[in-house]
Amino acid sequence: MTDDVLISVEGRVGRIRLNRPKAIHALNTGMCAAALDALNAWRSDPAVEVVMIDHAEGRGFCAGGDIRMAAESGAGDGSAARDFFRVEYRMNHALFTYAKPIVAFMDGITMGGGVGISQPAKYRVATENTKFAMPETGIGLFPDVGGGWYLSRLPGRIGQYLAVTGHRIDGAECVALGLASHYLPFDRLDEAKARITADPQGIEAVLNELSAPAPDARILAHRGAIDRLFASDRLEDIIVALEADGGDWAAQQLATIRTKSPQAMKVSLKLLLDGATMPTFEDEMRQEFAVAAHVVQRHDFVEGVRALIVDKDNAPRWDPATPADVSDHLIDQIFAPLPDDQAWSPA
């Protein structure tokens, strides 16, 4: 076990509390393993009726995964990064297939790995503090932990827009898009958790009673533009559409895209294209693991982490440098299945 995640049973509720505040509760291998062990233990334990996921002290729900470690590993043989992704994806899959109700409190920053542990939950609670994003294209990665599944199922082309640009949305927008099931003011969270612990069978009634009307979802004002400008699964087509638009909003998106890894954006678009028709979440996780295993050892991931997280010069030198230079053959290599003895499988 690890102090980075607090595992307990309170009454009939199994609690998973992320406890790595200095890293905004970013997940590491030990945290994922501890959560997975707890989920497996509670799965057949009649004394545990509900699972609750939140964070302990500090701000933010979960800022993602241990990206610095993964990049350091990727610069070498990549084994530690693959070990992390393998365990994390097993935890994601366990949450997705869990028979008992799960409630996740997405209060504060909910990005990357935080998306992966909140979206499988039946009850996903957003607040006025929620900042939800899958910003991986900025570090040469892609929206993993099931991102190909969840984002491809959002209305219209909003998933593709979020995947390519890494755009951050708030709690009200999460509710409007179905990424959150309830909107609670922050000051009602403690009451909600206490009442759920006291009466785990009353989760829905408690959350419904304590919910507040969510503000207008700002992203919906751009729904038409998103569906039109991000209509293609080809990155080059999206860029052409944005360049031709001439409006301020399109220009802002174009400027954002030009800071992202061309390889990562193309990988993300294919991931969502495939994810929309993926037969099962297990299949999704198997593909995402293969893609992650390849991407983590490529230049753009190591360089993106250097530029944004290590040196913080915010000047990544992508290679390939332009969308045109990212060949279909390269994308096929990244999406190639792993040999059976290296492939991902559920816990």
Tokens 């492939």 locate to 343
Of 14, 60, 74, 113, the active-site residue reads: 113
Answer for the pair 304, 140: CB distance below 8 angstroms, yes or no: yes
Is 136 a residue of the active site? yes
Of 4, 54, 88, 144, the active-site residue reads: 144
The token pair at 37 is 């062990």
Of 60, 64, 65, 74, the active-site residue reads: 65
Strand partners, 16: 7, 53
Amino acid at 47: A
Q: For residue 103, give the H/E element and its range.
A: strand 102-106
CA 15 to chain CA centroid, Å, is 21
DSSP code string of 236-248 = HHHHHHHHHH-SH
Is 77 a residue of the active site? no
Is 113 a residue of the active site? yes
Q: For residue 59, give the H/E element and its range.
A: none
Of 4, 66, 136, 170, the active-site residue reads: 136
Q: CA separation (Å) from 259 to 45, 137, 234, 308?
A: 48, 9, 18, 11
Q: Which of 211, 171, 249, 196 is nearest to 51 (CA)?
A: 196
Q: For residue 294, give the H/E element and its range.
A: helix 281-295
Answer for the pair 260, 140: CB distance below 8 angstroms, yes or no: no
Answer for the pair 63, 111: CB distance below 8 angstroms, yes or no: yes
- Cα dihedral across residues 24, 28, 32, 37: positive or negative: negative
Is 108 a residue of the active site? no
Q: Which residues are catalytic?
A: 65, 113, 136, 144
